[in-house]
Amino acid sequence: MTQPPSPPPYEPPPQQQEALPACWWHPNRQTGLRCVRCERPACPECLREASVGYQCVDCVHTAQQHHRTQAAAYRRAGYGARTVAGARAPARAVVTPVLIAFNAAVYLLTAALAGDPVQNQGSALFADGTLWPPGIALNDEWWRLVTSGFLHYGLVHLGMNMLALWFLGRDLELLLGRLRFGALYAASMLAGSAAVYTFGAPFTATAGASGAIYGLLGAILVAVLRLRLNPTAAIGIIVLNLVLSVSIPGISLLGHLGGLVAGVLVMVAMVYAPERHRARYQAGAVALLVVAMIGLVLYRDAQLFEQICPMFALCRA
């Protein structure tokens, strides 16, 4: 069987070919297509598929450049940037100077009440806020576990702790973000108080932000290891401070060790938590540590009540 010959391909009449515009990038090619953005005529080779219709190569390139410039501007402004802890890096530290200002304000208030700008222990506010174990065990003055972290024995004690907080807190806050840094500071401060209350002498009053400061020291060490930096300097500073804690009388070694251990544990959870559900792991680790501290404090509370209560006529009654 024979088939009829196929019809020749359709060619528009010469007058219609001349009416088609030439491609903007290939003048020798006539085309009936246009870019939906700039409406310049373009051949199929010079068009790219877009969300709506087709755009020419120039418009696609311009849009890509715009997106890259906008993304760079957001990164410079701190938007969208994430640290190893999963936090958006703040432009500047805020929590650290607020903590310093609050500690200084508390000192000024106690010094004013004591009538001595250098020694503030004579004020009733200072006496009611220190970590005094009988007050907690007998009178349920639980606030002492927190308020003691914002009280200091004199101007020198305050100055040393606030100077350390300034140098350690700024970098850690930029690494962790404000919320995570606040959780680290609070957990370290509470751990220092819990260690003193649980393992310390029952009739010794303590105060100071040293537990929180040592927590920041431990966190710095973990951060250095996580970022694969040289840890020699961080280890040296921690060892030196522990030696000073042992050699200088009147310093609470238990408070320092409690804060140091808590700072290390919290920071490990912050920077080594898996990326998937990272915030949940971090919050869970901090909550677990707080529950453990509460358990130690409650156990010690019952123990101290049995030891101290017979010494007071009110308890014997």
Per the structure, the complete domain to which residue 222 belongs is given by: 95-316
pLDDT of 305 > 90? The answer is no
Task: Please check whether residue 158 lies inside any domain of the structure.
Answer: yes
Examine the residue annotation and report whether 277 is marked as an active-site residue of this protein. Answer: no
Which position has the token pair 């802890």?
A: 85
Lowest mean pLDDT among 172-176, 208-212, 248-252, 276-280: 248-252
Task: Please check whether residue 267 lies inside any domain of the structure.
Answer: yes
Q: How far apart are CA 120 and CA 146, in angstroms?
A: 18
Six-digit token pair at 112? 């004013």
Task: Please check whether residue 89 lies inside any domain of the structure.
Answer: no
Task: Please check whether residue 27 lies inside any domain of the structure.
Answer: no
Q: How many domains does the chain have?
A: 1
pTM more than 0.75: no
The residue from 123, 193, 210, 245 that is catalytic is 210
Strand partners, 22: 30
Task: Please check whether residue 8 lies inside any domain of the structure.
Answer: no
Task: Please check whether residue 20 lies inside any domain of the structure.
Answer: no
Task: Please check whether residue 259 lies inside any domain of the structure.
Answer: yes
pLDDT of 75 > 50? The answer is yes
Examine the residue annotation and report whether 245 is marked as an active-site residue of this protein. Answer: no
Question: 114, 106, 115, 143: which is closest to 128 by C-alpha?
Answer: 143
Six-digit token pair at 174? 């930029």
Segment 156-185, tens digit of pLDDT: 999 999 999 999 999 999 999 999 999 999
Task: Please check whether residue 181 lies inside any domain of the structure.
Answer: yes
Q: Is the CB of residue 74 less than 8 Å from the CB of residue 80?
A: yes
The residue from 123, 152, 157, 256 that is catalytic is 256
CATH number, domain of 291, equals 1.20.1540.10
Q: How far apart are CA 13 and CA 15, in angstroms?
A: 5
